[in-house]
């Protein structure tokens, strides 16, 4: 052995010490463990504490402490304990004891590793369980909020839509007596009796804008851009677009989108009945996400509900599919003037779904809308 002794920082437990314990410098030799109390350590009678010695062959090893790695050397009657957590302490004890306590230290280390692994396993399991409970609770609350949307009064939709409409500060809105405004209002009135929600307070606004665009706010506020009116070839195609937007309102897609956007906050407000807070937050979210796309499922829902409304009003619902199919085949870039179609994909599968749905409807002789579309377009120009 290259060194005759090694020193470590540690401590002592003994009844003769004033506080029952004190810090110490520990020296390990070939025969003994000697603990020298730190300066100022006192005995119970007030005298300065002297060194404590324990023969290595009388040392009973234990492992513990806050970290689980502290080594305790106790004498036979456990009246004296010398301990240290310093790195290399257990190895020095093994070396200087000629291996007599190696087995005991190895057993203790193995137990410590086993306890540590067990602790880590249960910590991980508990963490995963807690996360599952939190995530499950969170998404459960959101799911419940989405279900609760159906029980919220439609007046909430109306308030959100009106606040959002006011904050949009729409410019270049055509007057109420403009032929284009009159035509869209006549279409709206034709469809209104067949809306899924009887008391939905629909209002329609025509805005001068070249984009082929239309959107519906919660509660029935509908905006149609003149670019969309210019793009349709028949009044029935325009009716299909308006019916689609009305369907978004009656299916309450706007309120559902709000509940998803503000998530947990919306869920809490639903369940505590804070509809005023929901209206304020909802109008802001509606304004900020106005032109963002609905999900494919929501768009398909609006397509089919719009087709149902047209059929109920005596109008051919195939007009909406015809408009989608025709404009999709036109050689024009998507975007800009194609904004409405960009938000409402007109791929073959979607046209097919509308066509298939119309085939399930009862046969009837559809009417033609007695509206002068060309005159309305001329007035736009």
**Per-residue pLDDT tens for 195-246?**
999 888 999 999 999 988 888 888 899 999 999 999 999 999 999 999 999 9
Same-domain check for residues 54 and 166? no
Same-domain check for residues 79 and 168? no
Same-domain check for residues 352 and 224? yes
For residue 287, is it within any domain? yes
For residue 331, is it within any domain? yes
Sort strands 214-216 and 203-207 into parallel, antiparallel or unpaired.
Answer: unpaired
For residue 147, is it within any domain? no
C-beta of residue 105 within 8 angstroms of C-beta of residue 93: yes
Mean pLDDT in residue range 163-178: 81
Helix pair angle (348-359, 318-329), 10° resolution? 160
Same-domain check for residues 89 and 176? no
Calpha distance 108→71 (Å, rounded)? 10
CB atoms within 10 A of CB 367: 12
User: pLDDT (tens digit, 9 = 90+) per residue, 22-73?
Assistant: 999 999 988 889 999 999 899 999 899 999 999 888 888 888 877 777 889 9
| Whole-number pLDDT of residue 374 | 94
292 pLDDT band, cuts 50/70/90, is low
Q: Domain range for residue 219?
A: 152-380
What stretches of 103-171 adopt beta strand conformation (E)? none
9 pLDDT band, cuts 50/70/90, is very high
Calpha distance 24→32 (Å, rounded)? 15
CB atoms within 10 A of CB 118: 10
pLDDT of residue 256 exceeding 80, the answer is no
Same-domain check for residues 258 and 321? yes
Which of 364, 358, 362, 369 lies closest to 318, judged by CA?
358
Same-domain check for residues 79 and 209? no
Paired strand residues for 169:
none
Same-domain check for residues 322 and 191? yes
Task: Give the three-class secondary structure for 172.
Answer: coil
Q: Which residues contact 221 (CB under 8 A, 6 or more apart)?
A: 161, 162, 164, 165, 203, 205
99 pLDDT band, cuts 50/70/90, is low
For residues 62-89, one letter each, b for 16 or more C-beta atoms within 10 angstroms of the residue's C-beta and e for the rest, the string is ebeeeeebbbbbbbeeeebbbbbbeeeb
Q: Which tops the pLDDT comparison, 225 or 275?
A: 225
Calpha distance 310→297 (Å, rounded)? 20
**Burial of 24 by CB count in 10 Å (0-12 exposed, 13-18 middle, 19+ buried)?**
buried
Q: Which residue has the tokens 């996360």?
A: 131
């Amino acid at each position: 052995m290259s060194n005759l002794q090694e020193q470590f920082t540690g401590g002592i437990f003994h009844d003769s010490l004033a506080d029952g314990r004190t810090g110490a410098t520990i020296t390990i030799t070939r025969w003994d463990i000697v603990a020298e109390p730190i300066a100022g350590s006192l005995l119970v009678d007030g005298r300065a504490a002297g060194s404590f010695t324990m023969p290595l062959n009388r040392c009973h090893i234990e492992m513990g402490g806050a970290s689980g790695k502290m080594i305790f050397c106790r004498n036979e009657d456990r009246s004296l304990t010398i301990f240290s957590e310093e790195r290399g302490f257990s190895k020095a004890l093994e070396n200087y004891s000629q291996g007599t306590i190696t087995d005991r230290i190895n057993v203790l280390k193995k137990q410590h590793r086993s306890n540590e692994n067990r602790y880590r396993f249960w910590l991980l399991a508990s963490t995963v369980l807690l996360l599952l409970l939190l995530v499950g609770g969170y998404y459960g609350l959101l799911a419940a909020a989405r279900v609760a949307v159906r029980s919220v009064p439609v007046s909430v939709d109306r308030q959100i839509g009106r606040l959002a409409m006011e904050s949009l500060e729409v410019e270049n809105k055509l007057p109420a007596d403009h032929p284009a405004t009159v035509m869209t209002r006549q279409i709206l009135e034709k469809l209104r009796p067949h809306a899924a929600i009887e008391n939905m307070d629909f209002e329609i606004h025509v805005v001068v804008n070249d984009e082929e665009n239309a959107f519906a706010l919660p509660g029935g506020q509908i905006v149609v851009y003149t670019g969309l009116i210019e793009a349709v070839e028949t009044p029935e195609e325009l009716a299909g677009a308006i019916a689609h937007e009305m369907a978004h309102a009656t299916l309450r897609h706007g309120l559902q989108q709000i509940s998803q956007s503000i998530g947990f906050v919306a869920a809490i407000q639903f369940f505590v009945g804070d509809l005023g807070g929901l209206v304020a937050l909802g109008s802001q979210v509606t304004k900020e996400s106005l032109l963002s796309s609905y999900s494919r499922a929501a768009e398909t829902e609006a397509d089919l509900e719009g087709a149902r409304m047209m059929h109920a009003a005596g109008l051919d619902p195939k007009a909406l599919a015809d408009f989608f199919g025709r404009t999709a085949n036109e050689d024009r870039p998507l975007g800009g003037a194609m904004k409405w179609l960009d938000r409402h994909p007109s791929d073959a599968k979607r046209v097919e779904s509308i066509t298939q749905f119309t085939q399930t409807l009862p046969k009837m002789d559809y009417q033609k809308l007695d509206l002068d579309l060309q005159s309305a377009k001329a007035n736009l120009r």
